[in-house]
Amino acid sequence: MVKEALQFLAHLRRISRFPSPFTCNKLLHSLINSGCGHLSAKLLIHLLSKGFGCSPDIVSYNSLLDGYCSSCQIQKACFLVNRVRGCELNRPDLVMFNILFKGFAKVYMKNEAFMYLGLMWKYYLPSIVTYGTFVDMFCKMGDMEMGNRMFLDMMKVGIVPNLIVFSSLIDGYCKAGSLDVAFEYFERMKECSVRPNEFTYSTLIDGCSKRGMLAKADSLFENMLSASILPNCKVFSSLIDGYCKAGNLDVAFEYFEKMKECSVRPNEFTYSRLIDGCSKRGMLARADSLFEKMLSASILPNCTVYTSIIDGHFKKGNVDDAIKYINQMFDQDIKLDLTAYTVIISGFHRVGRFDKSMEAAEYVAKKGLLPDRIILTAIMDVHFKAGNIKEALNAYKILLAKGFEADVATLSALMDGLSKHGYLQKARRYFVKEKANEILYTVFIDALCKEGNLDEAEKMIKEMSEAGFVPDKFVYTSLIAELCKQGNLLKAFMVKKRMVQEHIEPDLLTYSSLISGLAEKGLMIEAKQVFDDMLNKGITPDFVAYDILIRGYHNQGNGAAISGLHDEMRKRGITVED
């Protein structure tokens, strides 16, 4: 194509006759589609320089403009539009302005977009494409107030929003964590007779799954199927991720099987969530099997996948298997992140291989694979977990001495380590409100709860909310666990009710805390009811949950109930202690 274009341009220079608009447009389109925007521009400039401004019509200009905007050459795009504005024979049409707006949106130049919107008003009223472009731009920028304002403006002038507009707003509000508003727009779609598509459903399902609103996510999935819309990989992966995080692996694997039935191919994220879920639950044979399936499907595991499975094997004491996967990571030249090195360093520490633990840390520092701050944070965290408080604080001092500023990850590890070893007052000194995020607040609230300081914990939860962070299930579970420990069961169940009202699904630890609190008071009928409620929610109990009930029944001398629980444990593959 390039050769033909150059020959054609040379031909134009030799003759005084110039191509028709049709021929000119055809050539420009061909050049742009083949990635030769610079030749398109050269051709158009040559025509203009010869005084044949009438030959390239507005379609020619728009073709070239689209090429500039698609390749993010916004300065050239603006120059072209301004040239057309100064041309007597042509003037920008609505299509030209909309192409330019899409270019601005691509690089988030909202001020420039508004300036040209003002120029456009001299000639045309904004169309659905114009509004859709602006709505999408603001939503992707996270400016939902402006996105909503553009939506209201288009409604005022009588333009009915289309699928693109609604999907942009729903996606924006889901990413902003405002699912209630996202669902309001979902209902408005129906009022405007706009049919949701695959993207709309996948966005809402992903938002619900991330927030633990799994019943709502299931309902959306069923609605999607009823509407004859085939779920994509993102839909299935979001649901699998949500159920893995909730500890309900049975349902997660049901969705994994449904993927096959729908001929949807799992991707790296799908496998990583399932492997992580299995590894965390000690189901390592299944995690290993998934890992092999992943390789068989020619999907290369990433650092997250390896980290999950290595962590699982270390926690089970399978050192040889953990080392096997570590060696595979290095063989595959996979760059390890902070989490991976922390898992490896702490894993060796956990099994008493302190030489290997420090060797791993030193290897990373020597190779310069990660900043020293991250490595020192990992080493500090390892020393805390091993109970070496002095060495942990020394690692923190070295970090500061090297000129590194303690970030949220470092402060979280420091506060968590000090708190868990009973140095809560010292941990308080490192809490910097300006730097705090969800993790830092969660660590501090958990420490306050474990110390038994519930009044202070509730104040911190309130402060967390006022700072714009949403308390998650870990925060509420810490509070419930300590309330149960103190025997305040009424308030513990009130907190659980608040969790549900805020669409946060209680997990295994939440239920285990409530069961423990009831069992401690000898309320075994109520404890078994909570246990059964947990099963009905699809949460699989572990050894600890069963052990709590067994100890409670043992205190009451109820051997029949204990025997029944032992049978259930065997069916689930959980080892029964003699």
Q: pLDDT, tens digit, for every residue of 558-570?
A: 999 999 999 988 8
* Structural contact between residues 199 and 167, judged by C-beta atoms closer than 8 angstroms: yes
Taking the C-alpha atoms of residue 221 and residue 214, their distance in angstroms, rounded to an integer, is 10
Per-residue pLDDT at 305: 94
Q: Are residues 401 and 415 in the same domain?
A: no
pLDDT digits (tens, 9 = 90+) for 52-95: 444 456 777 787 778 778 778 888 888 888 878 776 656 788 88
Range of 384's domain?
A: 336-405
Q: Are residues 458 and 433 in the same domain?
A: yes
Q: Are residues 449 and 432 in the same domain?
A: yes
pLDDT digits (tens, 9 = 90+) for 136-176: 999 999 899 999 999 999 999 899 999 999 999 999 999 88
Residue 44, pLDDT > 60, answer no
Per-residue pLDDT at 54: 42
Q: Are residues 353 and 373 in the same domain?
A: yes
The secondary structure of 244-293 as a DSSP string is HHTT-HHHHHHHHHHHHHTTPPP-HHHHHHHHHHHHHTT-HHHHHHHHHH
Mean confidence (pLDDT) of the chain: 84
Largest CA distance in the chain: 108
Residue 186, pLDDT > 90, answer yes
What percentage of residues in the chain have a pLDDT greater than 90?
40
Average pLDDT (364-385) is: 72
pLDDT digits (tens, 9 = 90+) for 87-134: 665 678 888 888 888 988 888 888 888 888 888 888 888 899 999 999
Domain-ending residue, one of 371, 405, 439: 405
pTM listed for this prediction:
0.62
Taking the C-alpha atoms of residue 204 and residue 197, their distance in angstroms, rounded to an integer, is 11
Taking the C-alpha atoms of residue 191 and residue 461, their distance in angstroms, rounded to an integer, is 39
Q: Higher-confidence residue: 424 or 487? A: 487
- Is 433 part of a structural domain of the chain? yes
Residue at token pair 């134009």: 12
Tell me how many domains the chain contains: 3
Residue 369, pLDDT > 50, answer yes
Q: Higher-confidence residue: 342 or 271? A: 271
Taking the C-alpha atoms of residue 21 and residue 63, their distance in angstroms, rounded to an integer, is 12
Angstrom CA distances, 48 to 5, 10, 44, stand at: 17, 15, 6
- Is 517 part of a structural domain of the chain? yes
When pLDDT is cut at 50, 70 and 90, the band that residue 425 belongs to is confident
Q: Higher-confidence residue: 361 or 34? A: 361
- Is 427 part of a structural domain of the chain? yes
Average pLDDT (442-450) is: 86
State CA 441 to chain mean position distance: 20
Q: Are residues 504 and 550 in the same domain?
A: yes
Taking the C-alpha atoms of residue 322 and residue 310, their distance in angstroms, rounded to an integer, is 5
Domain-ending residue, one of 405, 422, 447: 405
Please report how the helices 508-520 and 473-485 are oriented relative to each other, as an axis angle in degrees rounded to 10.
10
Tell me the range of 33-47, 441-455, 482-496 where mean pLDDT is highest: 482-496
Residue 571, pLDDT > 70, answer yes
pLDDT digits (tens, 9 = 90+) for 204-226: 999 999 988 999 999 999 999 99
Per-residue pLDDT at 414: 87
Q: Higher-confidence residue: 367 or 75? A: 75
Q: Are residues 503 and 552 in the same domain?
A: yes
Average pLDDT (545-555) is: 92
- Is 457 part of a structural domain of the chain? yes
Running DSSP on this structure, what letter comes out for residue 177? T
Residue whose C-alpha is closest to residue 321's, from 309, 303, 338: 309
What percentage of residues in the chain have a pLDDT greater than 70?
87
By CB neighbour count within 10 A (0-12 exposed, 13-18 middle, 19+ buried), where does 144 fall? Answer: middle
Q: Are residues 564 and 540 in the same domain?
A: yes
State CA 126 to chain mean position distance: 34
Domain-ending residue, one of 405, 435, 458: 405
Taking the C-alpha atoms of residue 385 and residue 371, their distance in angstroms, rounded to an integer, is 22
Taking the C-alpha atoms of residue 208 and residue 174, their distance in angstroms, rounded to an integer, is 8
Taking the C-alpha atoms of residue 520 and residue 485, their distance in angstroms, rounded to an integer, is 9
Q: Higher-confidence residue: 505 or 7? A: 505
Residue whose C-alpha is closest to residue 350's, from 390, 388, 313, 385: 385
- Is 200 part of a structural domain of the chain? no
Per-residue pLDDT at 442: 86
Residue 343 phi/psi, 5-degree rounding, is -60, -45
To 5 degrees, how large is the angle CA 183–CA 188–CA 192?
Answer: 150
Please count the helices (runs of H) and the strands (runs of E) in the chain: 33, 0
* Structural contact between residues 71 and 37, judged by C-beta atoms closer than 8 angstroms: yes
Retrieve residue 522's tokens: 């000898």
- Amino acid 180 reads D
- Is 513 part of a structural domain of the chain? yes
Per-residue pLDDT at 239: 95
CA torsion, ordered 272, 278, 280, 281, to nearest 10 deg: 170
Q: Are residues 400 and 450 in the same domain?
A: no
Q: Are residues 503 and 566 in the same domain?
A: yes
The CATH number of the domain where 547 resides is what? 1.25.40.10
Per-residue pLDDT at 526: 93
Per-residue pLDDT at 73: 83
Per-residue pLDDT at 296: 92
Q: Are residues 395 and 355 in the same domain?
A: yes
The secondary structure of 202-252 as a DSSP string is HHHHHHHHHTT-HHHHHHHHHHHHHTT----HHHHHHHHHHHHHTT-HHHH
Q: Are residues 570 and 517 in the same domain?
A: yes
Query: Residues 208-236, buried b or exposed e (16+ Cβ, 10 A)?
Result: bbbbbbbebbbebbeebeeeebebbbbbb
Residue whose C-alpha is closest to residue 269's, from 294, 289, 296: 294
- Is 142 part of a structural domain of the chain? no
When pLDDT is cut at 50, 70 and 90, the band that residue 266 belongs to is very high
Residue 259, pLDDT > 90, answer yes
CA torsion, ordered 323, 326, 327, 328, to nearest 10 deg: 120
Residue 31, pLDDT > 60, answer no
Taking the C-alpha atoms of residue 446 and residue 444, their distance in angstroms, rounded to an integer, is 5
- Is 371 part of a structural domain of the chain? yes
Q: Are residues 394 and 411 in the same domain?
A: no
Q: Give the 3-state secondary structure percentages of the chain, helix then strand then coil, rounded to 5.
A: 75, 0, 25
Per-residue pLDDT at 52: 47
Per-residue pLDDT at 358: 74
